[in-house]
Chain A
């Protein structure tokens, strides 16, 4: 929170994108989150990604539930559609909205409480149905808005700011999502902008359900030295699988790698996510390897980040349900109710 609004002035040499907009045009209101909150970094990364992709803000719908994370959509893309839903019910709203108008880009912003506790049922089905959206989990392992209780993603035996030990194991949302059939699953860290921005861009270009589990330290309640979600713990234990580089459609991949050093994931819209391998046993299109990698890193006390799993050819909900390409909310009376003669034709066919 600040008393003054961010000055409208920007650097005279600030870049513009294909639409002639600057990064500043994608910002939102000044954040009311605590100073230093990881969520603000994620908002800034979303701003950067949308700017770089030259996305028209009116084509985006931001949906959220309740929590610190769910306040965040107010702080980016203030020209977009937005819906702040009931706690944990964002996926239902997103499903309804996406069914009515699949032409918008859906960004769901949720947190570990909103997704892994009260809304876990919603999360599961949303992933399972391959809803075409980007689902951000701003994961800080704590209930920041209610003064720092453990959340369901907090690691077993990690200690709270007040010294209590967490008695229950953590829910790992990426493993769950992979098992449930989500077709783009990545984990990142709010403090690693270089990794996060290409992942967000790829997730937004991916067709189907994209989960971004972003570890986002809570500076107020979960950034102490017995926390496993603090800035310095994550920096120390972060094991990046790959160094992602988003290559838009029509651009060539310019960096050259030795064979086996990099792999490419071609996305639905023709763009590519190029991945410089950092780990040995790594194939982002293989579910089994992905789960194995996650499990091993958990065992070794590491935090695995990067693109964990992607299946660019998977069908999304609209294709699974075989829905018409025309957005449902634009269907006219005539199209929905073709009249007596059409009914008669159908009836005649059934005779």
Chain B
């Protein structure tokens, strides 16, 4: 190309330097976030009342404990219950597979709140029958009903996680194991499960986080979990900082869990990194 030759060339748009539009928007938005954060902080400092704190801090802690218990019980019971359901989903028997599918579809297709109402208020319609078989004591308590509903709900989700994880392990692994003379159970325990766990870790972690967030709805059926204590405190004080405290606690738990899952995943996939 000669020095004075001016050939019109279509060039890609130049990469802009300095104060681009993205940068300006970014700084404006960050300023808004900072202002909001500062506003909340100032509000919290202004609204700070040692009396309220002394009265409600222990209640928040006990609420937090109820939330943790509820989630732990339902996730663990749900995990146990999810095994037969996942096996049913993978079964070659059409009837069993269909029943398991219907179970999973029902609990994943309806709101957790509606399921909880169905069990807590709905089973009250069968009070005489439940009393006759001695289960009324269980279904009378809101806490047990919530734990029961959450267990059924999470078991449907966990069954799908389990099924997906087991099916993600290639058929060749089964065939190789049987060629080595391992029994089905041995194959499952020593070859399939360790590989499936890596796939399942993240969905399991997400499910626990979803349960923690979802458990807030028990406040509506008069269980005093973290959300329930928050609503009670707000109803008595009309102080909006009660909700902000709850938000900070929930955000803290979820963030800690999320980072823990990232850390575990990093550790158990070390051998896969190149």
Q: Are chains A and B native binding partners rather than an unrelated pairing? A: no
List B residues at the A interface (Cβ < 8 Å): none
